[in-house]
Structure 1
Amino acid sequence: MNYRVEIKDQIRYIIVPRLQELGLKHCFTTADMDVGITTNKSVEAVKANIQRVFDFLNVKPKVLYSGRQAHTNNIAVIEDLNQGMEYEFGRCFPDTDGLITNKEDIATITRFADCTPIILFDKEKRVVANIHSGWKGTLQRIGANGVKLMKERFNSDPRDIVAVIGPTIGKCDFEVDDDVADKFKEEFGYMEGVIKRKNEVKSLIDLQTINKNILLENGLLIENIEVIDLSTVANDFLHSYRRDRDRYGLMGSIAVL
């Protein structure tokens, strides 16, 4: 198994041993906590949950960076502690769905329920990208943009990048109408098996495989891509908007060099 569930103070976290062995402090939170201010509604509760994550990772970053996620392919490159704007939990960038840095004194977080979290880690240059790839971001190939920026800004070699595609709405659960299916067919129709007809009006989309293929097309090696085979909809210990609707919470993908 390419992931492990660890427990601290009765809270479950998902970690990837391969990233851990390479020295990247990281985790995906679970339904045991809610790190979304739009869902939790309590700033203090979210701050407390983020501190629990830092305690679990045994880190004390100077600042936490995030983006105000808007289902774009926009990615911010963080090179100092004064970029972005101040907000309740650190600093953030508007209309941003990915964060890249080579700085060791900051943490990055993206938030997700059914969307696809992606971590890209250049094990040689020590650069990390933390990406939120919703279905709209997947259509815009945000993962490819992450690789492109790592190459342009940090001279990363895609062959040195280890990728983790985290828990997301599964290929048996992401059921869409024809308007969405047609968009995926137009963009990814050449990919085998990622769009399947369920019935006369619904199709099923495999977001994890699409994102994996996008990374392969951009130079990553297949042996360096880890896909966590967990559907947010099918596993109660994960948050899911599609399953829980008004009661849903948000999980976090957190990375610290």
Structure 2
Amino acid sequence: MRSKLLESQGLLTYISGKKFSMSYKKEGKKVKHYVFDLCNDLGAVPKMIYTGYQDHSLNIQYCDGKNGQDFVYGKIFYNTDGLITDKKEVALLVKFADCSPVVLYDPKKGILALVHSGWRGTAGKIAALALDRMVKDFSSSPEDIYAYIGPSIDQESYEVGPEVYQAFEDFAKRDDFFYQKGDKHHLDLLGANEAILLEGGIKKEKIEICPVSTYRSKDFHSARRDGADYGLNSMIVMMKD
């Protein structure tokens, strides 16, 4: 799967599903071979591949092609759920199993960001933090940025407790992406992340939202559906030289 919108702007994108699992904890060094296959699907050989040891943080790291700690298939930053670069042929990779992968791309300035946004990241507006970095550190203009929100769990399948609803209290229109059923709420991750991007000044016509549910699609891993044995999907993106 690819983002048609981002690819139309010259960005290379690819999303893997159940073809393999990108969980290093469960798959070990086999993930190095999976990443090789992933790059074949991407259609490029990156000079460096970056990922984060994701733990639902709001931390975003700049990737220059040399920094970061050595990892089995490239470089890694610990306690990191967002990556940003201005380097061509440096690939960014996130893993997800129901959470939203969100891409921000400024083709004018040549700036690329990729974040992993679960309910904690979405409540903390990690996509907005990445957008702020693009504007402040690289002089991007929000109106020039294209965005993609990838496959995620659908709202009907995403039942959450009151503590999650409470975590979104800073959202002016919180009830636009929650509905209540009994004592549980159902969260629309896609809608919440779109609202964050629109609030940040990205134009609606420059946002692509993938309609595929990781929970309902047999082609994707889902933590909520598969339980303790769940695998990890991945999204990889790269600017061409």
Normalised-by-shorter TM-score class: over 0.9
- Name 2:193's counterpart in structure 1: 211
- Name 2:221's counterpart in structure 1: 239
Q: State how 1:185-196 maps to structure 2 within 5 Å.
A: 186-188=169-171, 190-196=173-179
Q: Deviations over 1:24-53 (max 9, x none)?
A: 01111111111121232x31x211111011
Shift of 1:173: 1.0
AA paired with 2:117?
A: S
SS across alignment from 2:170: helix
d(CA) in 2 for partners of 1:211, 1:249: 23
Pair 1:225 & 2:207 matched = yes
Q: For residues 148 and 189 of structure 1, do their structure 2 counterparts lie closer, same or farther at Cα, with a shift above 3 Å needed?
A: closer
- Name 1:11's counterpart in structure 2: none
Shift of 1:88: 1.5
AA paired with 2:45?
A: K
d(CA) in 2 for partners of 1:39, 1:182: 33
Percent of aligned positions with the same letter in both sequences? 35
> Residue 39 of structure 2 is aligned with which of 41, 54, 66?
54
Q: For residues 175 and 183 of structure 1, do their structure 2 counterparts lie closer, same or farther at Cα, with a shift above 3 Å needed?
A: same
> Residue 198 of structure 1 is aligned with which of 173, 181, 186?
181
- Name 2:231's counterpart in structure 1: 249
SS across alignment from 1:187: coil
Pair 1:65 & 2:47 matched = no
| Alignment gaps of 5+ in structure 2 | none
Q: TM-score, normalised by structure 2?
A: 0.95
1:100 and 1:127 in contact (8 A); partners too: yes
Shift of 1:255: 0.5
49-58 or 188-197, which deviates more: 188-197
AA paired with 2:166?
A: D
d(CA) in 1 for partners of 2:94, 2:184: 29
Q: Deviations over 1:168-188 (max 9, x none)?
A: 11111110112222222x132
d(CA) in 2 for partners of 1:174, 1:18: 27
Q: Deviations over 1:190-210 (max 9, x none)?
A: 2442111111x2110111101
Pair 1:173 & 2:157 matched = yes
AA paired with 1:239?
A: H
1:39 and 1:250 in contact (8 A); partners too: no
AA paired with 1:73?
A: L
AA paired with 1:66?
A: T
Q: Deviations over 1:11-31 (max 9, x none)?
A: xxx101221121101111111
| Alignment gaps of 5+ in structure 1 | 1-13
d(CA) in 1 for partners of 2:156, 2:44: 37
Pair 1:36 & 2:18 matched = no
- Name 1:23's counterpart in structure 2: 10
AA paired with 1:125?
A: K
SS across alignment from 1:229: coil
- Name 1:101's counterpart in structure 2: 85
1:39 and 1:248 in contact (8 A); partners too: no
Shift of 1:189: 5.3
Pair 1:74 & 2:36 matched = no
Q: TM-score, normalised by structure 1?
A: 0.90
Q: For residues 203 and 191 of structure 1, do their structure 2 counterparts lie closer, same or farther at Cα, with a shift above 3 Å needed?
A: closer
Deviating beyond 4 angstroms after TM superposition, the runs of 4 or more aligned structure 1 residues are: none
2:65 and 2:87 in contact (8 A); partners too: no
